[in-house]
Copies of this chain bind each other. A is one copy, B any other.
């Protein structure tokens, strides 16, 4: 077993001026579309954006993350019931996708499609970063990308050739025990938690985050600064309005 590629992959946020060809992107999207999906309905879509005016409009919706304007391609992976339902309308079939199960299945499919594309791109020398901000501003992103009704943007990948100074080595992960359970969930006691987070908390970068944000613990950086409740709740309400037909 050779797992080195997967164990050492890394996120890339700065890109070389070299632009991968559109044909290469097409070929990689086509390969990624062979990833598993629910019932082989392929209720997904990838919007590959390189037009600088559209990227300029997308940028604030991703909170100005520089990679949106600096990457040669920004790909918005979507749940797409529009195409399938149009087919149904031509074939005397009455689809029932406007419910939570169907939406979540398509969100899982869009995520799988996105990740397969990301892996393929990375294996072919590209690098990128996922923007989890997509669902925060889904309605506005849908307007910019002219998504029809029944197409929901899920996750975005900024992708390109890594800049020469982009190399940073892989991001550290928690010990395997944190995410792996055999047979049934094996609960953690407080000693387990101390042990699982010890290396992360001891890292120099963690001390830096705590100091920069004037917090007492690394956990507080996540809960108070990076993922505060009020922001998540406000964006949840906006999202609920956008996907109300599925809830």
Contacts and interface: CB of A to CB of B under 8 A. Distances in A.
Q: Of A91, A108, A193, A235, which is in contact with the most chain B CB atoms at under 10 Å from its CB?
A: A108
Taking the full assembly, how many copies of this chain does it contain? Answer: 2
Interface stretch (A42-50, A61-69, A160-168): A42-50
A93 B217 contact: yes
A49 B217 CA distance: 35
A11 interface: yes
Given A108-B154, A219-B88, A54 B184 contact: yes
B28 A97 contact: no
Interface string A87-108: 1101111111101111011011
A233 interface: yes
B93 A223 contact: yes
A139 to B, nearest CB: 13
B35 A7 contact: no
A102 B227 contact: yes
Given A92-B217, A92-B219, 7 more contacts: A26-B176, A34-B171, A46-B179, A54-B184, A86-B188, A101-B232, A146-B184
